Structures are given as structure tokens and as C-alpha cells.
Structure 1
Amino acid sequence: MVGGSAMADTSASTTNAGAEHCDLTPSQRIEAVLMTVDRPLGDRALAEAAGVDGVEASISELNESYESTGRVFRIVRVASGWQVMTLPESAPVLSRLHAQRQQTHLTPAAMETLSIIAYRQPVMRAEIEAIRGVACGEVLRGLLERRMIRIAGRAEELGRPMLYGTTKDFLRVFGLSGIDDLPEVEGLKRKPVRRAASSEQDAEPEASDAEPAVAAEEPKASEQDASVTEGD
């Protein structure tokens, strides 16, 4: 046990010493880290991996350098993290290179279902099927297995059906930093469904709204009583 601790301490000190004596600039460190990962890294994770205090200034410096030298990639924010991405102009070249991966792409039915979920989330299965006009149970299961969608809760409807929403993997695959980056599409504007968790809070205003209506009718009843008394 003592020997193991000594080895761990020696390894940690060696790593720290290597980081302290690194001749790379902060921008170069960040670039090196991002060039070797296949997923977005958040500010904290990237700073720790590169051994720097902050990342945004260095990323701006790197992107300016890429643009001025005509590079076809940039460091962009994707799914709350940073990742090196190629420019849209390079898509024709890359599509030929990755032609063999076409079979792993989403089917038209899956893309249509995913689009509805992205714009309408959180959304019920019944609403998805009403828009598409066909059952989508198998498609939803496939998207869940690919981690493109998730169960976002339950709706405040009869039977409390499940609500579907997109995931961080969805943002990463489509190069989005958030749902607000989705382009505007006519007919697919988001219409949030009330969650079951908010049912008690929503019920209180309805009860309070009913009380003034009863109070407003009370004077009419008293006026009728007064007129009957006078008549007698």
C-alpha cells in the first residue's frame, strides 16, 4: 500500500511538473487538446485538460488565426462545450469521404419524427403521430436507443403520457449550441405541453378566480330579498 501511494504521488508530481514546464502558449495547449478529442469539452474541463485559467480569449485568438490563414475549420460551441468543426463549405468533400457511413444515417421517418420533437418539445407521442399521420412507436424506440431523444417527463393529460425531448447528443450531431439555434420552420413552432408536476400550482389560480364571481352575485341576491320585504 505504501509503495502504491508513493508511485501515485510520483506520477502526479511528474504530470504537474510537465504541465508547468510546457513551452506551449495557452492557445496552443487548448488547440492541442481539442484536436485530440471527439466530443465537446466544457469550459472547466477544457481549462483543466489544457492547464490554463480561461479558454474564451484563447479560442477567439485561435479562430481569428484560422480565419486569417484560410483554414476550413473553427472552434465552435456545441452542446454547452467546445469542439473543432469544419466549415459548411467543406461538406461536399466530406460527404464523398464518408459515403460508406450513409447507412448509419437516420431514416426519413426518424428525421421527420426527430424534427417534430425538436421544435415541439416537450411533446407527447399522440401529438407526434397526429402530425405525421402514422404510428411512431418503433421510430421513437430507435431514437431513444441512439440517445437522440429522452423522456422529458409526463404530461398533465389523462393517463399522464410521457413527454419526449432532445438530448445533448442531438445538439452535438447537428452542431447546435442549444435548441434556440434551430432555424425557423413554418408549422413547427414549439408549443410546450404542461407537465404533470405543475398541475397543483395551475389549479390554485382557477379556484381563486371562481371566488370573485360568487362574491359578485351576492349583492344581487340581497337586492331581491330587499324587494320582497318591501312588497310584503
Structure 2
Amino acid sequence: MTPLSTKNPAVQVQQLTKNYGRRTVVDGISLTIAQGETLGVLGINGAGKTTTVEMIAGLRRPDGGRITVMGLDPFRDRGVLRQVLGVQLQDAELHDALTVNELLALYRSFYPAPRPTRELLDLVELDAQRTTRFAKLSGGQQQRLSVALALVGRPRVVILDELTTGLDPAARRRMWRTIEHLKADGVTILLVSHTMEEVERLCDRIVLLDAGRVLAAGTPVEFIEGAGTTTLDEAFVQLTGHEMETAE
């Protein structure tokens, strides 16, 4: 794996804020992700996780603070950023009538040197579904296709929001293998997850959000030891006072 670089971070967020009317959903969040690092973002529903990653991706404009991704501003440098950042969101919508091959071809047309279709199909194990229309894919297959589309442009930073929601155990482990291939290639990953086993397996560090703020940050081992527990699930409850909801 490519060594982590802290000198030139892949993602830097400083005092990020977002309000909806009188409600503050992101309240001064700061975080740094080193190049080649996988950072997990945890928190109960409503903690500000998805809003935070959408602002980092340039999909939602913050009310305050500063964001850079590979030194780029998500809004000022939007066109350039698309060449280095891949994004998979939990509720992505794709054209129901297009096949897997057609969707991959469409997204590949956006990049000067995209990944080959065969490589993408193998990476997410969808070769058997390449001529299947999106509407006919299972929920897990649609999720895997969304990941493939996020990887078309060979991004150096990838945002994954609830990567394995709705996947059966076998499909979840296949997706984890895909992410491990990206990690081995030195890709920086920001992973929002409700699955503690997933976070422990894939993430170098964790940021725990609560009420729009960073409650704790560290490695999975540091979380467990700091909370005085034996598992990450127990540490989460100890730190937040809440059980982790299961994403459906």
C-alpha cells in the first residue's frame, strides 16, 4: 500500500458549518484525510454525516468554513475536481432503461482516460449483468453499479456513503474486497457507514459525529481503548449514549 502522506492531505475541512433555517446540522467540523488513508465517518441518524460528505463532494454549499480536495475547492474548481474525485451516494438515481454496459459507456465518455469497462465489471462483479437494464437489477447490484460509476475516472479520492446498505452478507464481503483493491492502489477513501465490522476491516481512522460536531477521532483500537470497552459497537454506545441504527 502507498504510505500515508500527511504533508499534503487529500482532504482538508476547516470549521465547516451548514444551517437549514434555524437548525444547525453541521457545526464547526474540522477533519483531515491523508493521501492513501481510509477514514470512516460514524454517527447516529441526523448527526450530520451525509450533509458533511455532500459538502466535501461539492453537492451542497456550506454556510461557513473551508474545504479542499487534492488542493482543489469543490465549488471554484468543480470541473477539475470531477477528474480526481469519485462519489457514490446512498440515494443515487440512474436511468432505469439503460443497461449496465450503457451506463458505464455514458460515464466513461466524461473522462479522457477512463477505466476499461471489463475492469469495472470485474471490480464490482457485475459481468453477468452487463446487458441488464438498471431497473431490473437487484438493490445490491444497483449499489455495486453505483460504486463502479464512481470509479470510472480513476479517482484518487472516493466518497462512499453507506456503501453496503441493503446488501446480503456475501455481497457485502465482495464489496469490501473491491474497497481493499482501491486501498492497495493508494486511493483515499471517505466512508460513511453504519456497519461496525465494515469500519473495523476497512478504516485506518474513524471520526465520530454527534449533533453536527466531531465527538471523537482516532483508530478503531483507540476508540475501543478510550471508551474502556471490548468492541467498537460498545465504544459507540459509550461515547454517544445511543445504539447505532441499522441502515436499511
Q: Which has the higher contact order (CA 8 A, sep 6+)?
A: 2
- TM bucket by the smaller chain? under 0.3
TM-score, normalisation: structure 2? 0.23
Looking at secondary structure, tell me which structure has more strand per residue: 2
Q: Which of the pair has more CA radius of gyration?
A: 1
